[in-house]
Chains A and B, each alone.
Chain A
Amino acid sequence: MKTSWIEAAAYEAHRLAATTHPADVRAALERSFEREAGELPRFVMQAIVENSRVAEQDQRPICADVGVMRMFVVAGNEARIESGFVGLEQAVRRATARVTRDLALRSNRVHPISRRNPGDNLGVFAPNVDYRFEPDADWVELIAVHKGGAFGSDFRMMVDGDGLNGVRKGLVDAIAEFGRRGLTCPPVIIGVGIGGTKDQAFGIAKQAAVLRTIGDRHPEPEIAGLEDELHELADSLGLGAMGYPGTGGYALDVHVEIAYTHSALTPLGIHQLCQAARRGVVRIHADGTLETRDAPSWFSDYSRRAGV
């Protein structure tokens, strides 16, 4: 697999993320607009749906806040990259800088203390690159995600006695805190991470929010049922777009991921992905074909460690 293919794929994944809503998100936003009966939130939903079309048509960023540009990499166990994974990371960095300039994306990454802005969305630990591996595959899939991050995330260390009630309350707390003024930019996609270690709970919650498609359900029926229940709970609060009272629904979907955890504890992570849900997926096949895909392959039976 040539490094130039990877750079082209990384560039395309970022371009798609910045300018083009994934098909499942666009459709869900349109459904939310159709369901909305409140005058104010309906006006807002109309603008959201129109913005989605304008961004793709004009090749403008859906949102001016490019967030923190990052790349999730699904690497087939049989894939061979000519320059190795170091070459892949160099290609991802080059593509990030180029797409920033070409699409006039906001240069958003700054030094956290001096606030110095290098201007190309690169820096220390930037962009984030996360990996997972897939058996019996010879392709590499790049998933670009652009997401802001001030509002909507929450972490809480629950104990064994909190149970499902604690998950429900944690979700309502997160919405009360950041959703009521619309700071989360609803309608949102909510990711909930339950269990694992503290950092794992927060990590799988983020991945659940940004790397699954609308309507997708967890393979464990109990967890799938919890996803439906939490979605209903989030919508029962009556918040529409911008937090205005409405009927369109606060959440486009709720995705739950679990990880086996400490016997005394249940860490809980929550992420809310804004309506500008930006994700671009490009798979690089062994023969050099670049395939644009709607659904990311981040989660699989193997990645959840089933049968390993």
Chain B
Amino acid sequence: MKIHRLAIPLAEQAVRRLRVGDVVFLEGKVHTGRALVYQHVLEQGHEMPLDPARVSNVQMHAAPAGQEESPGRYRISSIQATASFRYGRWVPEYVRRFGIRAVIGKGGMDAAIYRDVFARTGTVFLTTVGYGVAALYGRGVRGVDAVYWKDELGLPEAMWLIDTHDFGPFIVDGDCTGASLAEQAIDRINPRFEHAYRSLAPHVLKRMGEIDQSLEQEVIAGNAGRARDR
């Protein structure tokens, strides 16, 4: 596995060289955001408290384990990403508008976003590894520069600006060619499921929506893009 150590703000050239399966460690300022941050900025139109393209062009889908130790002073103990497919409706606009070069998340996103948006903007999706290796990532946080909108969004959901050092490892799940590591894995795994299903009769009592036995479908939103490709 190829290992890259990159400084934030990330340069477009460096990002475009990354390929799915590569390992990345980061150094510099990362800002967090989940649904409430996206709604606050993109739907309610609040002005961004920082200039991401200049300061922190890496956004992490995360609500850290952290507390306010004394007024205005914060401590993060552990941090990792949350499932990113939930933010599919906001990520394209956020990335375009604020010049985001890397989104750190969990589980990847619909490959249509990589292909139709990230390939043009020069952005990658970096997945946290293991899902729940937050102590390891916590060691990579040197400090908390600021927490924005704490009163409006609550402490975990607020936008945290963190200073990172040797922050990783992350794996490139979506690169600027539009490739998706998770989809490649699923394509390799599906025949095993098909094999298992051949000997398993359907349940007698069906649930609403349970009419498609195809493994094309996934729980993440927007998988129509994937079916359309075939």
Contact = CB atoms under 8 A, between A and B. Distances in A.
A40 B184 CA distance: 12
B132 A275 contact: yes
Contact of A237 (B36, B134, B193): B193
A44 B154 contact: no
B62 interface: yes
A132 B108 CA distance: 41
Interface residues of A, number: 67
A64 B189 contact: no
Contact of A168 (B67, B75, B136, B200): B200
Contacts of A275: 130-132
Given A47-B169, A181-B107, A233-B196, A103 B132 contact: no
A300 interface: no
- Pick from B76, B157, B193 the residue with the most CB of A within 10 Å: B193
Contacts of A165: 200-201
B133 interface: yes
B197 interface: yes
Nearest to B75: A104
Interface stretch (B10-18, B41-49, B79-87): B79-87
The range of chain B's interface size is 35 or more
Interface in B176-201: 182, 185-186, 188-189, 192-193, 196-197, 200-201
Given A104-B75, A176-B215, A180-B189, A43 B205 contact: no
Interface string B128-159: 01111111111100000000000000111100
B196 A237 contact: yes
B65 A245 contact: no
B78 A172 contact: no
A105 B65 contact: yes
B219 interface: yes
A64 B64 contact: yes
Given A39-B1, A104-B77, A176-B215, A44 B129 contact: yes
Contacts of B78: 55, 60-64
A115 B186 contact: no
Interface stretch (A3-11, A106-114, A122-130, A200-208): A106-114
Interface of B: 1, 21, 23, 36, 62-67, 75-80, 82-83, 106-108, 127, 129-139, 154-157, 169, 171, 182, 185-186, 188-189, 192-193, 196-197, 200-205, 207, 215, 218-220
Given A51-B133, A237-B196, A274-B131, 5 more contacts: A65-B132, A108-B156, A169-B197, A237-B193, A245-B189
12 contacts: A50-B133, A55-B135, A62-B134, A103-B65, A104-B67, A159-B204, A181-B186, A182-B182, A183-B131, A185-B132, A237-B193, A243-B189
